Structure 1
C-alpha cells in the first residue's frame, strides 16, 4: 500500500510571479525533507501548478504535509489529494509514469477538496480517498483522518506567517526561547502568538502522528 499525493497551488492564476512561487515551493520541499525525511518520493512539480509525491504510510504523509503547509510563505498555498492504495508504475522508454488505484484516488481526493473549498469549508486543503480494491474496513480510519485534516486545515489556514513559523519550530521540538531569538521577539510574544493561533493542538497532533516513528 502506498499513499499517493497530488498537490496544486491554490489560486495559481492570480499569482504575480508563478515561477517565483514554484521556486519557493521547491525550496520548502527541500527544507521539510531535511527536517522530517519521511517522504518516499517528496513532492515534485510535474506539469503546470501540479506536484506529486509518495509516502509509505498515512501518518507519514500527514505529518510531512503539515510541516510543508506551515513552512510555506503567505503568498503561496497548496491543497492536497491523498490516495491510499496500490501503485503500478508504467515504464515508458527512459522514464516511469506513476499509475494505479492510489493515484486515481488521489485525483478524486484533490477534486473533492476543491469542491469543499467552494462550499462547506473554504479553508479546507486536504482530503483522503481509498483506492479501488483496498479493504473497506479502513473506511472508519479514513473518516477520522479526514475529520482531523479538516480541523487542522482550519487552524493552519487562519495562521499568520509568523505563527506558522513558530508552530513549525515547536513541532520540531524547538524551545520558545530559541524561537524568540530567531524571530527577534520576546519569549512572551512567542507564547502569546502560539496561544492565539491554537498551535498547541497542531503540535500535539504532530506528536501523535510521529509517535510510532520515534518508538
Structure 2
C-alpha cells in the first residue's frame, strides 16, 4: 500500500500566463522537496493541469502538501486528491505506466474536492479516499484525517500570503528574527501575525504527524 496523490491547478483556465504559473509551481515543488524530502515520487506534471506524486506514508503526504499550500503565492494553488491503496507499473512501449486502486481512489478524492468546494466548503482543497479492502484501523485513520483536513484547509485558506510564508518558515525551523529581517518587519510583528493566523496549530499538527511516522 502506498499513498497516491493527484493534484490539479485551481482556476487553471483563468490564469493569464499559464506557462509562468507552471514555472512557479515547479520551483515551489522543488523548494518543498529540498526543505523536507518526503515523496518517493515528487509531484510531476502528467497532462493538462494535473500532477501526480507518490508517498510511502499518509503523514508524509499530508505534511508535504501542507508545505506546498503554504509556499505557493496568491493566485496559484492546487487541489489534492489522496488515494490510499496499491499501485503497480504496467509495461508499455512508452515506458512503465503507473496504475492501480491507489490512483482510482485519488481520482475519486479529487472529484470530491471539486464537488464540495463548489457548494458548502469553498476553501476545501484536500481529501482522502481509501481503495477497497482497507482494514478498520485505516478506515478510522482516513476519516479522522479528512476531518483534520477540512479544518486545516479552512485555516490555510484564510491566511494572507505573508502569513503563509511566515508559517512555512517556522515549520522548517527558521527563527522569527530571521523571518522578520526577510519580511522587513519587526520580530513582534512576526509573532503577532503567526498568532492571529493560527500558525501554531498547523505547526503542532505537523509535529504530531511526523512524530507518529517516526
**5+ long unaligned stretches in structure 1:** none
Question: Aligned residue pairs: how many?
Answer: 214
Task: List aligned pairs for 1:75-86, cutoff 5 A.
Answer: 75-86=75-86
Question: Secondary structure of 2:38's match?
Answer: coil
Task: List aligned pairs for 1:40-55, cutoff 5 A.
Answer: 40-55=40-55
Task: List aligned pairs for 1:89-108, cutoff 5 A.
Answer: 89-108=89-108
Equivalent residue number for residue 189 of structure 1: 189
Q: Give the Å deviation of 1:183.
A: 1.1
Equivalent residue number for residue 177 of structure 1: 177
Task: List aligned pairs for 1:138-157, cutoff 5 A.
Answer: 138-157=138-157
State the distance in 2 between where 1:190 and 1:159 align: 14
Question: Secondary structure of 2:39's match?
Answer: coil
Q: Give the Å deviation of 1:212.
A: 4.1
Task: List aligned pairs for 1:1-215, cutoff 5 A.
Answer: 1-212=1-212, 215=214
State the distance in 1 between where 2:212 and 2:145 align: 16
Q: Give the Å deviation of 1:209.
A: 1.4
Q: TM-score, normalised by structure 1?
A: 0.96
State the distance in 2 between where 1:112 and 1:26 align: 25
Per-residue Cα deviation, 1:119-158 (whole angstroms, up to 9, x for no partner): 1211000000001233244211111000001100001111
State the distance in 2 between where 1:154 and 1:45 align: 26
Q: What is the RMSD computed on CA atoms of the aligned residues?
A: 1.1
Q: Give the Å deviation of 1:51.
A: 0.4
Question: Secondary structure of 1:174's match?
Answer: coil
Q: Give the Å deviation of 1:94.
A: 4.3
Question: Secondary structure of 1:79's match?
Answer: strand
State the distance in 1 between where 2:183 and 2:46 align: 35
State the distance in 1 between where 2:156 and 2:91 align: 38
